Amino acid sequence: MHVPFCAVRCHYCHFSTAAFSGDAVERWFAGIEREADLRAPLADGVAFTSLFFGGGTPSALSSRHFRRLWDLLRARFTLAPDAEVTLEANPESAKDALLAAWREAGVNRLSFGAQSFEPSELRSLGRIHDEARPVEAVALARAHGFERLSLDLMYGYPGHTSAAFARTLARAGELGLEHVSAYCYIPEGVTPQGERALASGGPAVPDEAQAALYEQLSEAMEGMGLACYETSNFCRPDAESRHNLTYWLRRDYLALGPSAHACWRGERWGNRFATADWAAALERGEDPASERERSPEASTSDEIVMLGLRLSSGLRAADYAPSDWASVERRYGAAFAAAQEAGRLESVPGGWRIPRRHRFLADDTIAWLAARARG
């Protein structure tokens, strides 16, 4: 569920966001309602086990708006009783009224975008909150009964140092979180910061430096009792984000809102990126998807390998439909064996995984395998 509004645009951001105004929100609501009507029949008889409010900034919606959104969704889709319901929240906006509204509706997991605890870094990333805010937000969320809390961090941006990262990691460690997502900075040409980084030519931050920061991150997470379950995601035992795993395990998911992407019963589609385009398509009575493709068997198995090998538990037969796994084996069986020979994969019960020391090189092995896939 993509909520495209933000109070201020962060310097590194390339997500689909829109200016926040009463009219814009109304138009978006109307669009969501149309799109939900359009998609609901696809999910007839399905009880969703995960629902994710992402953005943009879902927490930019007022409690009244959030309730309205919630009711709109519940009227059209079914949630499983133990469903994971996550909301991406800006630490700045975690206020009592909102937290109460989320809690009451059924949100049971919050993901705070902290990025860093260094004041100067927050400013240069264009974040509006100060470094104390995430700490207060976490405490407040706990007070409202939220147990499942995750924090987003970023590392490896221009000027990022190991000492600064250590301070951020230490602050994060004090929060007793069950989950952390930490993303290595990628310069995006369309963002002010990315443009600066790209204009300076060459990789703004050397691979060595980013790899060292990743090592530092992994160690700090272990110290906090959080294990890496996917390249950029760390958690306590059994506290994986179900929503995240849906992507990595290539399970079905539906999508609502501008720029949202779905993978549903052998088909992938992505909605128009700009909120206005997306809304306009729906207003014309059209499907808001701008890209749509059926996945042939070969690309399904390519995707399974590409996504699944990022998981620390590895790529395992048990996680897939038998027919999908059979085609993975057919296409990749020989390549897997060769990769093991070359030290690129290690076997796990019922599957394969990339050795821990190569986690930050995962794409190299994935491409190596793809180049050797059959037919």
Partner 1 sequence: MSDPRLKNIRNFCIVAHIDHGKSTLADRLLEVTHTLTPQQMKAQVLDDMDLEREKGITIKSHAIAMEWKAKDGVTYELNLIDTPGHVDFTYEVSRALAACEGAILVVDASQGIEAQTLSNYYLAADQKLTIVGALNKIDLPAARPDEIALEIEHYAHVPAEHVARISAKTGFGVPELLEQVIADVPPPSGDPDAPFRALIFDSKFDQYRGVVCLVRVVDGRIRSGEKIRFLSTGAMHEVTEVGKLRLKLDPADELHAGQVGYIVAGIKTVADARVGDTIVADDIAGMEMLPGFRETKSMVFSGLYPIDAEQYEDLKEALARLRLNDASLMYEPETSVALGFGFRVGFLGLLHLEIIQERLRREFMIDLIATTPSVVYHVLQTDGEFLKVDNPCNLPPPQNIEAIEEPMVLAHIVTPTEFLGNILKLCQERRGEHEGMEYIEETRVRIAYKLPLGEIVLDFYDRLKSVSRGYASLDYDIVGYQQSDVIKLDILLNGEMVDALSAIVHRSKAYTYGSSLCEKLKELIPRQMFQVAVQAAIGGKVIARETIGAMRKNVIAKCYGGDISRKRKLLEKQKEGKRRMKQIGTVEVPQEAFLAVLKVDRS
Rounded distance, CA 282 to CA 38, Å? 9
H helical segments located in the chain: 22-39, 63-74, 96-105, 119-124, 133-143, 162-173, 192-199, 207-223, 242-248, 275-283, 297-308, 322-341, 362-372
Q: Which does 366 bind (CB under 5 to 8 A by kind): partner 1, ligand SF4, none?
A: partner 1
- Is the CB of 75 or the CB of 367 nearer to partner 1? 367
- Nearer CB in complex with ligand SF4: 54/351: 54
Told to check if 11 binds ligand SF4 by CB under 6 A, we report no
Q: Which residues contact 120 (CB under 8 A, 6 or more apart)?
A: none
The residue written with tokens 């990595």 in the block is 248
The 54-83 site mask, x for binding ligand SF4 (CB under 6 A), equals -xxx--------------------------
Smallest distance from partner 1 to CB 74, Å: 21
Give dist(CA 207, CA 119) in Å, integer: 25
Q: Are 110 and 179 in contact (CB under 8 A)?
A: no
* Pairwise CA distance, residues 268 & 57, whole Å: 25
The span from the CA of 166 to the CA of 329, in Å, is 42
**Cβ atoms of residues 152 and 112 within 8 Å:** yes
Q: Which of 1, 10, 151, 306 binds ligand SF4 (CB under 6 A)?
A: 10
Q: Residue 202 carries which side chain, given as an amino acid letter?
A: G
H or E element that contains 360: none
Query: From the CB of 113, what's the least distance to ligand SF4, in Å?
Result: 6
* Contacts to partner 1 by CB under 8 A: 2, 15, 54, 183-184, 186, 207-208, 210-211, 214, 231-232, 246-248, 253, 255, 259-263, 268, 270, 291, 302-303, 306-307, 310, 342-344, 358-364, 366-368, 370-371
Stretch 218-277 residues interacting with ligand SF4 (CB under 6 A) = none
Which amino acid does the sequence have at 318? A
How far apart are CB 91 and ligand SF4 at their closest, in Å?
10
Q: Which residue is nearest to ligand SF4 (CB)?
A: 13
| Least separation in angstroms between CB 247 and partner 1 | 5
CB 357, min distance to partner 1, A: 9
The listed partner (partner 1, ligand SF4, none) that binds 208, CB under 5 to 8 Å by sort, is partner 1
Residue 255 interacts, among ligand SF4, partner 1, none and using kind-specific CB cut-offs from 5 to 8 Å, with partner 1
Nearest to 261 by CA among 311, 252, 28, 61: 252
String marking each residue 87-116 x if it binds ligand SF4 according to CB under 6 A: ---x--------------------------
Distance CA 139, CA 229 (A): 26
Sole binder of ligand SF4 in the list 15, 146, 157, 165 (CB under 6 A) = 15
Q: Which of 3, 13, 154, 304 binds ligand SF4 (CB under 6 A)?
A: 13
320 binds ligand SF4 per the rule CB under 6 A: no
Q: Which two tokens stand for residue 46?
A: 């399905």
> 């990743």: which residue's tokens?
214
Q: Does 17 bind ligand SF4 (CB under 6 A)?
A: yes
Q: What are phi and psi of 272, to 5 degrees?
A: -55, 140
Report the candidate in 72, 71, 75, 86 with the shortest Cα–Cα distance to residue 31: 72
- The contacts of residue 67 (CB under 8 Å, 6+ apart) are 101, 105
Contact of residue 13 among partner 1, ligand SF4, none (CB under 5-8 Å per partner type) = ligand SF4
Q: Which does 17 bind (CB under 5 to 8 A by kind): ligand SF4, partner 1, none?
A: ligand SF4
- Comparison of 122 and 304: residue with beta carbon closer to ligand SF4: 122
- Among partner 1, ligand SF4, none, the one that 361 touches (CB under a kind-dependent 5 to 8 A) is partner 1
Helices then strands (H, E): number in the chain? 13, 14
Chain positions contacting ligand SF4, by CB under 6 A? 6, 9-10, 13, 15, 17, 55-57, 90
